[in-house]
């Protein structure tokens, strides 16, 4: 899957997707910040690849809204 890029409050985020033995994993990278967040969707959920992608994107975007200390990452 192609990466998903979005911005929130002047901070850039990038989600990279990877298929794993259990399903799909989205790795959330934050520009200028050493933190990496991971969101996983299990095969047991029965989601298609596009459904897994949209679920991960929604989860990462919600997570980004609640991450503390992002002021230092703003350009």
Burial of 22 (0-12, 13-18, 19+ CB in 10 A): exposed
Q: What global pTM score does this model have?
A: 0.81
pLDDT along the chain (75 residues), means of 10: 91 92 91 81 84 92 79 52
pLDDT of residue 15: 94
* DSSP structure string for 30-74: ETT---EEEEEEEGGG---HHHHHHHHHHHHHHHHHH-S-GGGG-
pLDDT of residue 75: 47
pLDDT of residue 74: 54
pLDDT of residue 39: 86
Give me 35's structure tokens.
């933190």
């Amino acid at each position: 899957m192609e990466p998903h890029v979005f911005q929130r409050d002047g901070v850039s985020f990038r989600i990279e997707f990877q298929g794993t033995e259990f399903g799909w994993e989205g790795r959330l990278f934050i520009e200028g910040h050493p933190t990496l967040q991971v969101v996983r969707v299990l095969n047991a959920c029965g989601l298609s690849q596009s459904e897994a992608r949209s679920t991960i994107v929604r989860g990462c975007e919600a997570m980004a809204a609640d991450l503390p200390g992002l002021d230092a990452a703003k350009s």
